[in-house]
Amino acid sequence: MDCQRCHKRPATVHLTQVINGEKTEVHVCEYCAKEKGYMNESEENFTLNDLLSGLFNYEQPPSFKGQPSKTYQPNKTLKCPTCGLTYQEFAQIGKFGCADCYKTFDERLNPIFRRVHSGNTKHNGKVPKREGGNLHVKRQMDHYKSELQRLIEQEEFEEAAKVRDQIRSLEQQLHHGKGDEE
């Protein structure tokens, strides 16, 4: 692909910008990118750390000069009580110091996870059928058992009886080896 600006050199810089749902792509050579201000002489190498720092700080990475940045300014300095890592240090290195950092920085992580994982903030996992076996049926039974307990506490005995029958049906599936089917 040739540079969209000069049409002389191959495009080596590819920028994608999404503003209000409208996607704009620019494919330019390195020379034109420097000329337009997309990158500086000193900022030729854009690292993964730069990308993560940009995500964590809610700002544009430094390689995209000339575009407005939305810097996240914390109200107070958060510091992990276990390892002493501050949120600013985490944003710079992109790694946590210990497991307690997740709890300490929790309220600031969910917006980041939403951006990185297309809106999802909870990981449920996925087990392949051949490896999971009856796991799906067992999870469904656990769900029904907790639902049964709730219905009994609320004295909704007719609904509880229906759920009890569903549990029995799943137990029969487990005992007859039909639990692999979904």
Quick one: 162 and 104 in the same domain?
A: no
Quick one: 114 and 134 in the same domain?
A: no
Read off the pLDDT of residues 130-167 as tens digits, 9 standing for 90 and up.
666 677 788 889 999 999 999 999 999 999 999 999 99
Contact 66/38 with Cβ under 8 angstroms? yes
Q: At what angle do helices 106-116 and 48-56 cross, to 10 degrees?
A: 120
Quick one: 51 and 117 in the same domain?
A: yes
Element (H, E) at 30: helix 30-36
- Which carries the bigger pLDDT value, residue 59 or residue 16? 16
**Does residue 143 form part of some domain?**
yes
Quick one: 56 and 120 in the same domain?
A: yes
Computed on alpha carbons and rounded to an integer, the radius of gyration of the chain in Å comes to 26
Quick one: 102 and 150 in the same domain?
A: no
Predicted pLDDT at 168: 93
**Does residue 20 form part of some domain?**
yes
Query: How does residue 115 score in pLDDT terms, banded at 50, 70 and 90?
Result: confident
**Which tokens hold the place of 135?**
């796991």
**Does residue 104 form part of some domain?**
yes
As for how many domains the chain has, the answer is: 3
Domain housing 77: 47-125
